[in-house]
Structure 1
Amino acid sequence: MKRRIFIQKTALTSGAISLGGVLSNAHSNTNSAKHQFNLKYAPHLGMFKHHAGEDPIAQLNFMADQGFTAFEDNGMRTREITLQEKMAKTMQDRGLEMGVFVAHEIYWKEPNLASGDKDKRSEFLEYIKKAVDVAKRVNARWMTVVPGHVDLRQSMGYQTAHVVESLKQASAILEPHNLTMVLEPLNFFNHPGLFLTGSPQAYEICKAVDSPSCKILFDIYHQQIQEGNLIPNMEACWDEIGYIQIGDNPGRKEPTTGEINYRNVFKFIHGKGYDGILGMEHGNSRPDREGEQAVIDAYKEVDRFL
């Protein structure tokens, strides 16, 4: 699933609140059946809609009922403020920690941050300022940043300097609020032509920016395609990793459907003392309720690493 399509699909549920949905999908008050996960896996809207219905609030309640303790939403920035507030209250009431949302418009086909263009930099910084308000509203600590397309008219050294400068200025906006943008390298196969592709490159940039507000989003799906050698590469850049996302390869579906040994990867992450969120940024391998239950069962399986 292409990331831009993924973001669009998750954003389509923004207006789907109805009282009937809330009542018909009301969560159980008994917590005895909850699964106790070892890590903070974070589903997204639409992942369990056949069980919970289209209502985002009902979906959040269903996630909590299954034992999930986190949630992420790429499209949160574009949702109505009233919906953001309702979702934030539900997350607070149900013990769901808010994960990432995408902080800005991503330039998939043309350079923005890599270009050094002052107008594009100003546009990006305005998005970051507005993202601060969204983060506070929904109790988020992280926001996703993708530096955009390469600038084929400039050497990589100049492009990197332009990106670093933009991120330094963005960090100055975020630091007073204790918020962190996480830079996501994306693989060449799904997203050809983007500036940021690998974890070593992201590590170099974060070291150059030198701010607690600029870290790496290590998406295991993307980096399995881009560079492989997952555990050693995570180890090498661990001190700059601020957030992790999940997806098996090939297919970008739930763990156990592809080639990645997620039980061992999660064992490594847990052993590092990671207390952050792992976003379930993937599709379901099978349709309908059966497919949704398969996602839940897969996470129970790969979480058995202790």
Structure 2
Amino acid sequence: MKRRNFISASAIGAAGIISTKSMAQTTKMSKDFKLKNNINHSVCQWCFGHLPLEEFLKILSEMGIKAIDLIGPKDWPLLKKYDIHCSMCNGAEISLTEGWNNPKNHEILIKNYTEMIPKVAKAGYTNLICFSGNRNGMNDYVGLQNCVDGLSKIMPLAEEHGVVIQMELFNQTNHPDYMCDSTLWGVELCKHLGSDNFKLLYDIYHMQVQEGDIIKTIQTYHEYLGHYHTAGVPGRNEIDESQELYYPAIMKAIQETGYTGYVAQEFIPTWDDKIEALKDAFVRCDI
């Protein structure tokens, strides 16, 4: 058989196998979807924005999922209605590109976080997201010190209320010029702040794109990682066999560190049935 024909036939056959497998898994999950919940599961609402929030919360409730990420105060009463926890709050930040690394943002950020931290605690939540902002020509060491100077103004309040401020790590492909694009830079920021109430939101997708070595990084720096996001690489889609990361092994590594927080699905679904894609992701992470 000629090499070109063989490769073509093999590719078609492999695609058929994966498609059939996915269909079989979907059918099985629809009938007996059940989680062990050794991992505390969550999901980022924006990835399923085709559904009104209340409808999505109903679906999560029926699935037995008890948490959702990236919801602000306006919608917290709706979460309470369905007994779903906000595992990562937002609403105090300015934007992804305008963050703590620039002193000109400190006045508004300190005001926003000073107002938001007590609200998060009063609602019974713990995690509040923040961002470094873009470099815009700024040296990373200068930006780190600027972050320390600004964040240190709100950390006593966060500690008083038991709120954990979490800075998300991004890659340079999706977020060009973002400063907190390295685990080591983020860890250094944590060390300078010296507070258990400041952690890194470790986005597995972003860090695989940016630096790789996911499991080793989790094992080495887990004390600084306060929350996890998932997605497939490449493409930020489903975490199935179509991508390069093996999430059961990653979840095992997270669990073995003693982590008891939430792991939130943040992939953009491509399946026709997006909720079945979400169920599939939960099952793969439910070690």
Same fold (TM over 0.5): yes
Are residue 113 (structure 1) and residue 97 (structure 2) matched? no
Identity %: 20
CA distance in 1, matches of 2:96, 2:213: 27
Q: CA RMSD in A?
A: 2.3
CA distance in structure 1 between the aligned counterparts of 2:222 and 2:45, rounded to whole angstroms: 29
Does residue 86 in structure 1 map to residue 78 in structure 2?
Answer: yes
Q: Distance in 1 between matches of 2:48 and 2:129?
A: 23
- Give 1:254 deviation, angstroms: 2.7
In structure 2, what is the equivalent of residue 173 of structure 1?
Answer: 157
Instruction: Assess, with a 3 A threshold, how the Cα gap between structure 1 residues 88 and 34 changes in structure 2: closer, same or farther.
Output: same
TM-score, scaled to structure 1 = 0.76
Residue 76 of structure 2 aligns with an amino acid whose one-letter code is: Q
The answer to whether structure 1 residue 76 and structure 2 residue 56 are counterparts is no
Structure 1 residue 300 displacement after superposition: 1.2
Task: Give secondary structure in 2 for the equivalent of 1:279.
Answer: strand
Residues of 1 paired with 2:176 and 2:183: CA distance?
16
Unaligned runs of 5+ in 2: 1-31
CA distance in 2, matches of 1:281, 1:298: 10
Aligned counterpart, 2:58 = 61
Match of 2:126 among 121, 141, 164: 141
1:114-147 deviation per Cα after TM superposition (whole angstroms, max 9, x unaligned): 2333xx2111111112222441354220011111
2:35 is the counterpart of 1:43? no
TM-score by length of 2: 0.81
Does the alignment pair 1:98 with 2:86? yes
Deviation per CA, 1:186-218: give whole Å up to 9, x if none: 100000111110111100100100012211111
For the pair 1:223 / 2:197, whether they are aligned, the reply is no
Distance 2:107 2:199 in 1: 21
Which blocks of at least 5 consecutive residues in structure 1 are unaligned? 1-31
Per-residue deviation at 1:244? Answer: 0.9
Deviating more after overlay: 199-208 vs 169-178: 169-178
Paired with 1:211 and 1:128, the residues of 2 have a C-alpha distance of 16
Q: CA 1:49–1:209 in structure 2 vs 1: closer, same or farther (change >3 Å)?
A: closer
Amino acid in the other structure paired with 1:38: N
Larger Rg, first or second structure (1 or 2):
2
3-state secondary structure, aligned to 1:215: strand
Q: 1:214-260 CA distances to partner (integer Å, 9 max, x unpaired)? A: 11111101100111000111122111111111111111123114111
